[in-house]
Amino acid sequence: MTAPFRLAVIGMGKIAHDQHLPAIADSKYFELAAMVDRRGQAEQGVPFFGSVEDLAASDLEIDAVAICTPPQVRHDIAQFALERGWHTLLEKPPGATLAEVVALRETAKDRERTLFTAWHSRYAAGVEPARKWLANRKIVGAKVTWREDVRVWHPGQDWIWQPGGFGVFDPGINALSIITHILPHPLFVVKSSLAIPANLSAPIAAQVSLRDRLDVPVEMDLDFRQEGPQHWDIEVQTDAGVLKLGSGGAVLSLDKAEVAEDASELRGEYPSIYRKFGAMIRAEVSEVDVSPLRLVADAFLCASFEVVDEFHE
């Protein structure tokens, strides 16, 4: 049996603790070899370092890293890791800009290392069945509703409001990662409207109109100010009825009838990510998909801007 890859998690925030660490603990491909963060301390008896440079200067052997930092600092860390010969997984969004991610792709190719842009929402239980069902249908239109309470889901995450922090597009890009996967044709931004709080630098809400090359319309409604029920839904109108993905892609229904999951398949977004990352390393391949990030960039390029009331947690 092949020994598991020795993995370091870089950026020990909420997503690392809630999702990455449990998935790594259950993975046959990886063992947790180190944690890296500017703050904090060692946990679970795992070596802890204050920077990726400190990790590299140690005598610890590392095969791969999972980078879970805010996107604004991700490129330099990933570039350093790839130059060290470490296979690299990038949490979403994979970088603060398209140019950064494209440059990392070239570094990975030159260094013959695996680089994986891990769009976790694509591994939700309903997404792949939805893609297969839509492949043979005529699509009439689609509606994305991604409305959540930022105080609940992103408490204390000041980086999300800074330039390069994406604002409401931080969760919204999850919807784009799903829609670009399940629809058969590329999407283009037609227009967008971004609402930006007077005291911040990133949008708290967005309305985005897209179309594909067949002029099929896709409308997006993103909002960080949602109270009460939260919405992470995608509806696709087809000639064979309405497909809906609810709960961020976890629940698939066709004309309001829920489709049962295939219990024979292993489930879970992050366990699926680590299975794929491990298999990619062994196969010596990369997967660098920038299509969701490109649509976010285009939404900013095509935007009209509205200054709204200040936002404070």
Q: Using CB atoms within 10 Å of the CB of residue 261, give its burial: 0 to 12 exposed, 13 to 18 middle, 19+ buried.
A: middle
Residue 13 DSSP one-character state: S
Catalytic residue among 14, 92, 191, 244: 92
Check if 5-117 and 121-260+296-308 are the same fold: no
Torsion sign, CA atoms 61, 65, 70, 71: positive
Q: How far apart are CA 190 and CA 104, in angstroms?
A: 29
pTM for the predicted model, two decimal places = 0.93
Q: What is the predicted pLDDT for the residue at 264?
A: 36
Which of 118, 27, 46, 28 is closest to 78 using CA atoms?
118
3-state DSSP call for residue 170?
helix
Whole-number Å distance between alpha carbons of 122 and 272: 10
> Which residues are 232's β-sheet partners?
146
pLDDT single digits (tens) 178-222: 999 999 999 999 999 999 999 999 999 999 999 999 999 999 999
Q: And the tokens for 313?
A: 């947690």
Question: Which pLDDT score, from 0 to 100, does residue 1 have?
Answer: 52
- CATH number for the region 121-260+296-308 comes to 3.30.360.10
So where are the chain's domains? 5-117, 121-260+296-308
3-state secondary structure of 282: helix
- At 258 the pLDDT is 65
User: Which portions of the chain are predicted below pLDDT 50?
Assistant: 262-266
CATH top-level class of 5-117: alpha beta
User: 14 catalytic, yes or no?
Assistant: no
